Amino acid sequence: MVFYFLFSFKLQASDLLIPCSNDPKNFGLGPQTHEPPYDLIRLETERLPFIHQNPNLNLWADQLRAWPYQIDGWVSWYQRVEQDCSAIWHTVGIADALSLTISSVDKDESLLKTIGYFWSDCLNCFTFGHAIMTPTLMDVALILGLDIHSSCPSAVNLYECSFKIVDKSTTRNWSQYIAHHNKKQGSVGHREHTAFLNLWLDHFLFCGHTLAPTKNYLSLASHPANGNRLSIDKLFLGTLYRTLSLNTSRLLKGESIRGGGPWWFVQLWCHLYFQKETADFPSLQSVSFPDPRGRYIRCTLIGQALYGFPDGRLDENKAASWCEHFYQGQEHPFFSIY
């Protein structure tokens, strides 16, 4: 992408690497130019998959397989761990996001398989008819309730767990994983709590592409299990941007799309900002959500209110309608007051 700018706009390296005013040894990524940005915007708009090629929804056969589906035994395990660790969850800022996992979210394939065609992997934005829009840290805080103020941990500073939580013979799928790590009786120890958070991060939040237990998030899970605050939201948003950009790259090449990622958040975000285009969109104040004991109560989080919207499998007419909404744009765009 850097070479794309250099050759297309005849920029020098010094136009792309811009020294920071307070520290000349640190650089920001440009480009810096005195020319109007119209050509840049026009060329990037022409690179959008929706403009560059005819949408082929058959390419999406495997992309949305990674989804935060309910797993047998998860809700009862959540109830057990929540009794002992609720205070820790609130302290480290993950209690609200964890609460979403006790319900299920239906997949809106008609929406997701069309909105991906409008993502710019250069601008990290959706380019709609009315404006460019993108999920932000404030959206992550608004929808998921995650902490956006604490520092984002460096990989070298994360704890290295000494225990093993994934075994190919006993934890081949998530249901076996829960049966193996859910002690059911006694207090919840650090090992069980870490295993619980590892499942949440892998399956419910980041939606890993393996669709099976891994230790990819074990070091990250041990951080909040030890009661340490961390800014998961920055890691989450970065993963979301990477997912969408890889998706765009494959669409432009006409390749089949796969790789997982938090597409469920794209769906919640889109439903929030395209309320007028969402069929039978209810008043968010009137929507209820189950508490840990299964009783439906008033939502305390925007994500909870958006989680239960009924959706369905791919419908070509609905997909075409979404394409029209995204391409033509909104006459009066909705912007949430944070």
**Rounded CA gap, 274 and 100, in Å?**
21
Candidates 110, 122, 89; CA nearest to 244 is: 122
Minimum mean pLDDT range among 23-32, 65-74, 164-173, 210-219: 23-32
pLDDT reported for residue 3: 46
Does 320 or 61 have the greater pLDDT score?
320
pLDDT tens digit sequence for 72-81? 999 999 999 9
**Rounded CA gap, 132 and 46, in Å?**
14
DSSP of 104-124: -----HHHHHHHGGGEETTTT
Does 38 or 7 have the greater pLDDT score?
38
Mean pLDDT to the nearest integer, 45-68: 75
253-257 LR contacts (CB < 8 Å, sep 24+): 254/53, 254/56, 254/59, 255/59, 256/59, 256/61, 256/62, 257/59, 257/60, 257/61, 257/62, 257/63, 257/116
pLDDT reported for residue 31: 62
pLDDT greater than 50 at residue 5: no
**Rounded CA gap, 291 and 288, in Å?**
10
Which of helix, strand or coil describes residue 322?
helix
Counting residues of the chain whose pLDDT is more than 90, the rounded percentage is: 32
pLDDT greater than 80 at residue 334: no
Q: How confident is the model at residue 136 (pLDDT cuts 50, 70, 90)?
A: very high
pLDDT reported for residue 193: 96
**Rounded CA gap, 91 and 175, in Å?**
29
Sign of the alpha-carbon dihedral angle for 303, 146, 67, 316? positive
Does 132 or 169 have the greater pLDDT score?
132
pLDDT tens digit sequence for 140-154? 999 999 988 877 766
> What's the chain's average pLDDT?
82
pLDDT reported for residue 250: 85
pLDDT greater than 80 at residue 132: yes
Which of helix, strand or coil describes residue 125?
strand
pLDDT tens digit sequence for 165-212? 888 778 889 999 999 999 999 999 999 999 999 999 999 999 988 888
What residues are paired with 144 via a beta bridge?
Answer: none
Residue 310: other Cβ atoms inside 10 A: 8
At 193, the amino acid letter reads H
pLDDT tens digit sequence for 259-318? 789 999 999 999 889 888 877 777 777 788 888 777 888 888 888 888 877 676 778 888
**Rounded CA gap, 74 and 82, in Å?**
12
- Name the strands in the sheet holding 125-127, side by side, starting at the edge strand that comes first in the sequence: 119-120, 125-127, 132-133
pLDDT reported for residue 95: 93
DSSP of 232-293: HHHHHHHHHHHHHHHHHHHHHHTPPP-----HHHHHHHHHHHTTTTSTTPPPGGG-EEE-TT
Minimum mean pLDDT range among 40-44, 90-94, 103-107: 40-44
